[in-house]
Amino acid sequence: MNDYYSVLGVSRDASPEEIKRAYRRLARKLHPDVNPGDEASEEFKAVSQAYDVLSDPAKKSSYDMGQDPYGGQGAAGFGQGFSFSDIMDAFFGGTAAGGGGPRSRAQRGQDALIPVDVDLRTAVFGSEEDITFDTAAVCHTCEGSGARAGTGKRTCDVCHGAGQVQQVQRSFLGQVMTTRPCAACRGFGEVITDPCFECSGEGRVRDRRTITIKVPAGVDTGTRIQLTGEGEVGPGGGPAGDLYIEVRVRKHATFQRQGDDLHCSVELPMTAAALGTELPLETFDGVREVGIRVGTQPGDVITLKGLGVTRLRSGVRGDLLVHANVRTPTRLDTQQEELLRLLAKERGEESPEANFQPVGQGLLGKLRDAFKQK
């Protein structure tokens, strides 16, 4: 039986990545385009054959048990390859005799998930974003066939193109016939004689892509956008899976989002809160004047209708709420202190009466009432 581990120069407990690296190193050295000659060609075929067996989990498992798809069968242990799974396959839905024939090399690719960071303005109005990501793409060298240019595939010598082999085995239940995917061709019914140097017969390679996606208005952190057929290309150049974009909205310097509403706070001098004023606010819709009414109290909320986030699917926008934070002066000169004392005297507030209330009736209560009015 051939010693495929020695051919590739790896140990029997080598990982799939170590096996692939060993194959690529030897393939570059022995490839007929690089090293012409009959001896190198034979060595290249031996290396390709070894990789074909050790890179496939089913073939490798059979080989480790003593069955060589290219060089006959060795002792496979109890019952000449018998295992309890054979009986289970035969009686409980395994591949029955006379199954469905060879399977296609082209398989659907996996779905992919990519996070994309967007700013709050994008969440309000939507936008188009360019994203770059690594994925599995069709090998341009072999165009997904997996075979080196100028070569092709040959019918499997073991299953003769059926993609399956039948075995009759003795068991304590009597003779059991099972039909299994052919280990020599992995159920494809044909074997690639000279795998593509670029993709090692896989029909696909890792590649970097840049696509433009449309981010709808109203997205929030955790929103997923599905792009059909933009995921990874499958083995054998098979159809691509889907691509999922997971949105993450960055924090904004001024606004905080709560549902479809935007919130911010403004710090007011005591005089401005008492006398009232108008303050310019740079919103996502341009500059808007925030009207501070006379006698504004700490925690009062000024609502700007329709300047919030667009509601996903409906297109209706939330509001922008400005929370007033009144600033009391801590340092007064003599003249300012005299003016305030005069104001307190005029208002009869030189010795104010204490008016203690539960917390819910004060600032927190005002904030709660403001949200209830929404």
Which residue ranges are tagged as binding site?
139, 142, 156, 159, 182, 185, 196, 199
Q: How many CB atoms lie within 10 A of CB 245?
A: 24
CA 299 to chain centre: 42
Write the CB contacts of 95 (distance below 8 Å, at least 6 apart in sequence). Answer: 89, 164, 178, 179, 180, 181
Do residues 178 and 166 touch, judged by C-beta distance below 8 A? Answer: yes
The rounded distance, in Å, linking the Cα atoms of 55 and 119 is 45
Continuous segment of H or E residues that includes residue 128: strand 127-138
* Alpha carbon distance 2, 20 (integer Å): 19
Burial class (CB in 10 A: 0-12, 13-18, 19+), 136: buried
Report whether 273 contacts 320 (CB < 8 A).
no
* Separation between Cα atoms, residue 253 and residue 237, nearest integer Å: 47
State the binding site for Zn(2+). Answer: 139, 142, 156, 159, 182, 185, 196, 199
Encoded tokens for 14: 């080598």
Who contacts 142 (Cβ-Cβ below 8 Å, separation ≥6)?
Answer: 148, 149, 196, 198, 199, 203
